[in-house]
Amino acid sequence: MGGWGSGKGSSYPKKKTTESQHRIDIRWLKKHGYLQPGSVGSLSWSFRGEQTGSIGYRMEADHMILSYQHRFRGGDWESVEQKIILDWTVCNYGGTRPWFLCPNCGKRVAVLYGAGKLFLCRHCYGLTYSSQQEGVVDRILRRQRKIRTRLGAADDLVSPILFKPKGMHQKTFDRLLTEEKFAGYLSAELIVKMLGINVRCH
């Protein structure tokens, strides 16, 4: 993605689409110069190399306009234009920090989620990490640790498991290895889903 002034053009961006859950992090926008008034362009998300969504944006002095097409579960596309007010607080160490004011609840937030038609804060979409979700991840991680302990591997969940412990059947070793790999994969997927960290602006 180009940033403002990076050749995206000065005209209002084309309508963009978003179907799934995407997030906009104001710290990322600031870091990449997108908060500059007059900045116009698009924000897009991708997952595993595939673009999963893209929206147009226009930055004004104290707010941002998002523009995109949205549809609910394969229904008709609907044009959405959303205004999001920005707020700035002074940091202790000097400088200022930008915030979105959630268009629904007015809370100061750093991240807005496009979990439905509009970009709203995590609380409004009920995207708090439910104890149930956390419980599932915890269980998987516990299982993974247990397997690793049996295999004499490091507790860090990432070091490769290279050696079969003495006295363990090859079959058991293979099964545990597969289980460990699967647990690691599953917990990573779940955490990614919970935090929405798979989708990032780029």
DSSP 12: P
Decide: helix, strand or coil at residue 134. helix
195 near Zn ion (CB under 5 A): no
Among residues 66 and 137, whose Cβ is nearest to Zn ion? 66
**Which segment (71-79, 123-131, 166-174, 194-202) binds Zn ion by CB under 5 A?**
123-131
Q: Residue 174: is it exposed, middle or buried by C-beta count within 10 angstroms (0-12/13-18/19+)?
A: exposed
Token pair recorded at residue 171: 């079959």
Among residues 102 and 151, whose Cβ is nearest to Zn ion? 102
Task: With CB under 5 A as the rule, give the number of residues binding Zn ion.
Answer: 5
**Which segment (92-100, 120-128, 135-143, 162-170) binds Zn ion by CB under 5 A?**
120-128
Token pair recorded at residue 108: 């100061």
Among residues 40 and 101, whose Cβ is nearest to Zn ion? 101
**In the complex, minimum distance from the CB of residue 109 to Zn ion, in angstroms, rounded to a whole number:** 7
